[in-house]
């Protein structure tokens, strides 16, 4: 997508590597469009700094603050020297009128975020904690479709902490469950990856738990 | 080309789970979107207004439909493919702005629901403590420039907050260390220049902090000052609502009712309107004026959607009153 942003030069802000662009819990009513450099989105949870996302030039962040005022839900930190256009609610409308492509991009971004959050919510509503962990793998599998749909084995480059985060439980609890799955030979645990032997088996397991829960 | 299509009553435009490709705008007739609340599983119905688009989110994101669209009485609609729809809205950013507002609302709501589920049992963090704790985290992790940023922002918003003394003590320590680390590692710029927070905003966050420390008298005074100083309309309106909350916390129910009723007249589109009505209802309940309390609670139910948290809150309050009487 080519955008003519020359008229927005006056909104440009420059950040040095390591600079916080905004901080979790800070009230904020601005959003950003990256022109150059990368931005890391992090959350501090249980005294660990967690990477939520790494954003590239052309991407938008901080967008939730535009239309409603609420504290930032994560921090944005410059990885490289970053130049980003900063918009507040007042000049947001000007930007949208001049660049409907950005508005459309934002609309699609919101759609995706809403679906992602709903999917996450579905995991958290499971009472059975084993099913919750299994459902995290299913969610991850959905976001990275297999090259060959006939292959049931899936490899996830993810850590126990990440799985625990998505499943909404402590890393210790999550480790126990993963160990249990490993003992059943349903998964293999490595330093840098987790291999799920049969993702469809996990799918059936979660489905049956979800059904039982609805019957109760 | 978008085409006009007629639908008979009781027909289905699309089913939940269908692959989404089309976007619709209702020209006439009645269409209901039926879906299950993700939290309770309860079936909810949402009536589409004439002139309103539906099926947008799933089609734009290429997801399956989340709801079933049922035609209640003979309807006429215009059907768009995704490229046709994109072309249309690119020429009319007003539509995009409107949709962004709707989506942003949904996003906030689901964020809140997720947070509620995760934090159940655990103590939830208020923004004030959260911001200070981030400073502490970076301080401990020896990321001093980041710690300084968080401490300074904390003091900007909460100059008399509960951690203000500690933040003031920690800043010189972090500053010394930050200078040390500046020579050895990447250069750290001063906090980037940005629009300074307006004085009204600073005063407002400070008063919110006082309220959370249960210093209601002091908070009330601050909010009253912000509301009467009309320099910043946005914060004057926010403060008007907070004054009502202070009165309620102080048990001054008559003043609370009077004040919030006045607020509703002055700001009929106040973002906290339904919450204000809820406080008024609660005041009457405290005063044992059950019919009036019920009146306000029922009014709120007509104003909000079934899946909004306030809806549940009101339902609960009504049920509790029924049990008590």
Q: What is the pLDDT of residue A51?
A: 77
Residue B170's beta-bridge partner residues? none
The distance of B150 to chain A (nearest Cα, Å) reads: 7
Task: Determine the Cα–Cα distance for residues A39 and B171; give it in Å rounded to an integer.
Answer: 26
Any CB–CB contact under 8 A between A14 and chain B? yes
Chain B interface includes A111 (CB < 8 A): yes
Q: Mean pLDDT across the stretch B108-130?
A: 75
Q: How far is Cα A18 from Cα B189, in angstroms, rounded to an integer?
A: 9
Which residues of chain A have a CB within 8 Å of the CB of B121? none
The Cα of A193 is separated from the nearest Cα of chain B by a number of Å equal to 25
* Nearest residue, CB atoms, B189 vs list A16, A66, A113: A16
pLDDT at res. B325: 55
CA torsion angle B310 B314 B319 B322 (round to 10)? 170
Question: Å from A140 to nearest chain B CA?
Answer: 16
Pick A18's closest partner by Cβ from B104, B111, B145. Answer: B145
Candidates B19, B16, B6, B23; CA nearest to B71 is B6
Please name which of B93, B73, B60, B59 lies closest in space to residue B28, comparing C-alpha atoms: B73
Partners of A106 on chain B (C-beta within 8 Å) are 96, 100
CB A33 within 8 A of CB A98: no
Closest-approach residue (CA) in chain B for A122: B38
Q: Which of A96, A110, A169 to mutate: most B Cβ within 10 Å?
A: A110
Of residues A23, A64, A112, nearest to B104 (C-beta): A64
Q: What average pLDDT is seen over chain A?
A: 87
Contact A26 B157 (CB under 8 A): yes
Of A71, A108, A110, the CB nearest to B127: A71
Q: Which ipTM did the prediction report?
A: 0.79
Classified as helix, coil or strand, A137 is helix
Alpha-carbon distance A57 to nearest alpha carbon in chain B (angstroms): 19
Number of CB pairs, chain A paired with chain B, less than 8 A apart: 147
B41 touching A (Cβ < 8 Å): yes
Residue range B278-298: average pLDDT? Answer: 90
Instruction: Scan residues 146-205 of A and list those with Cβ closer than 8 Å to B.
Output: 168
Backbone angles phi, psi at B164, to 5 degrees: -60, -45
- Any CB–CB contact under 8 A between A103 and chain B? yes
Which chain A residues are Cβ-neighbours of B96 within 8 angstroms? 96, 100, 103-104, 106-107
A121 with B114: Cβ contact below 8 A: yes
Among B89, B118, B188, select the one facing A104 at the smallest CB separation.
Answer: B89
Task: Confirm if B80 and B25 have CB atoms less than 8 A apart.
Answer: yes
Give the mean pLDDT of B126-148: 92
Contacting A residues, span 24-63, partner chain B, CB-CB under 8 Å: 24-27, 44, 47, 49
Pairing assessment for the beta strands A12-15 and A60-61 based on DSSP bridges: unpaired
pLDDT digits (tens, 9 = 90+) for B18-52: 999 999 999 999 999 999 888 777 899 999 999 99
Whole-number pLDDT of residue B192: 42
Residues A99-147: pLDDT tens digits?
888 889 889 988 988 998 899 889 988 999 999 999 999 999 988 777 7
Contact of A75 with A23, CB cutoff 8 Å: yes
How confident is residue B8, by pLDDT bands cut at 50, 70 and 90?
very high
Could you read off the pLDDT of B261-270 as tens digits, one per residue? 888 888 888 8
On chain B, the residues whose CB falls within 8 A of the CB of A47 are 137
More confident residue, A183 or B319: A183
Chain B residues with CB-CB distance to A15 below 8 A:
189, 192
CB neighbours of B313 closer than 8 A, spacing ≥ 6?
Answer: B278
All residues of chain B having their beta carbon less than 8 Å from the beta carbon of residue A86 are: 194
Q: At A193, is the secondary structure helix, strand, or coil?
A: coil
What 8-state DSSP symbol labels residue B63?
P
Residue B78: which pLDDT band, with cuts at 50, 70 and 90?
Answer: very high
3-state secondary structure A58-95: CCEECHHHCCCCEECCCEEEECCCEEEEEEEHHHHHHH
**% of chain A residues with pLDDT over 90:** 44
- Residues B276-302, mean pLDDT to the nearest whole number: 89
3 state SS of B245: helix
> Residue A100's pLDDT is what?
86
What was the pLDDT predicted at B120? 54
Q: Which residue from B24, B11, B25, B18 is spatially nearest to B72, judged by alpha carbons? A: B11
- Partner-chain contact A27 B127, CB within 8 Å: yes
Chain B residue numbers with beta carbons less than 8 Å from the beta carbon of A168 are: 117-118
Burial call B8-47: b when 16+ CB within 10 Å, e when fewer: eeeeebbeeebebebbbbbeebbbebebeebeeeeeeeee
């Amino acid at each position: 997508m080519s955008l003519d942003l020359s008229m927005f030069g006056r909104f440009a802000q420059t950040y040095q590597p390591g600079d916080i662009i905004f901080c979790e819990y800070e009230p904020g009513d601005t959003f950003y469009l990256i022109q150059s450099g990368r931005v890391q989105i992090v959350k501090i949870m249980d005294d660990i700094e967690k990477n939520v996302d790494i954003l590239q030039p052309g991407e938008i962040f901080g967008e939730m603050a535009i239309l409603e005022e609420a504290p930032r839900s994560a921090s944005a930190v410059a990885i490289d020297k970053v130049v980003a256009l900063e918009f507040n609610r007042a000049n947001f409308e000007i930007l949208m009128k001049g660049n409907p492509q950005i508005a459309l991009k934002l609309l699609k971004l919101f759609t995706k975020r809403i679906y992602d959050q709903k999917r996450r919510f579905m995991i958290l509503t499971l009472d059975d904690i084993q099913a919750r962990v299994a459902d995290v793998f299913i969610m991850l599998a959905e976001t990275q479709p297999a090259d060959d749909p006939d292959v049931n084995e899936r490899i996830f480059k993810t850590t126990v902490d990440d799985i625990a985060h998505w499943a909404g439980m402590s890393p210790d609890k999550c480790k126990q469950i993963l160990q249990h799955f490993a003992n059943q030979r349903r998964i293999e645990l490595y330093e840098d990856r987790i291999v799920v032997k049969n993702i469809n088996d996990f799918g059936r397991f979660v489905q049956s738990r979800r059904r039982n829960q609805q019957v109760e | 080309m978008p085409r006009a299509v007629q639908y008979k009553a009781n027909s289905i435009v699309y089913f939940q789970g269908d692959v989404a490709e089309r976007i619709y705008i209702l020209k006439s007739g009645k269409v209901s979107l039926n879906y299950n609340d993700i939290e309770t599983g309860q079936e909810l119905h949402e009536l589409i207004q004439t002139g309103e688009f539906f099926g947008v989110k799933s089609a734009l994101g290429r997801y399956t439909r989340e709801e079933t669209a049922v035609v209640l009485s003979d309807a006429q609609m215009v059907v768009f493919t995704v490229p046709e729809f994109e072309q249309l809205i690119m020429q009319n950013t007003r539509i995009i702005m409107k949709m962004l507002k709707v989506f942003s609302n949904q996003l906030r709501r689901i964020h809140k629901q997720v947070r509620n589920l995760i934090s159940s049992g655990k103590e939830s963090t208020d923004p004030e403590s959260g911001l200070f704790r981030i400073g502490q985290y970076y301080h401990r992790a020896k990321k001093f420039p980041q710690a300084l940023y968080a401490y300074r922002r904390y003091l900007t918003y909460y100059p008399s907050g509960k951690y203000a003394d500690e933040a003031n003590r920690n800043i010189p320590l972090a500053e010394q260390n930050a200078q040390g680390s500046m020579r050895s590692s990447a250069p750290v710029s001063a906090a980037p220049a940005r629009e300074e927070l307006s004085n009204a905003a600073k005063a407002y966050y400070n008063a919110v902090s006082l309220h959370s420390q249960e210093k209601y008298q002091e908070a009330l005074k601050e909010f009253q000052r912000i509301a009467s100083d009309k320099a910043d309309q946005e914060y004057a309106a926010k403060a008007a609502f907070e004054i009502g909350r202070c009165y309620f916390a102080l048990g001054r129910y008559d003043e609370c009712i009077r004040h919030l009723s006045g607020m509703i007249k002055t700001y009929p589109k106040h973002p906290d309107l339904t919450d204000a009505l809820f406080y008024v209802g609660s005041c009457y309940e405290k005063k044992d004026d059950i019919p009036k309390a019920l009146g306000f609670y029922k009014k709120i139910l007509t104003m909000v959607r079934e899946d909004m948290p306030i809806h549940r809150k009101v339902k609960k309050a009504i049920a509790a009153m029924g049990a008590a009487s």
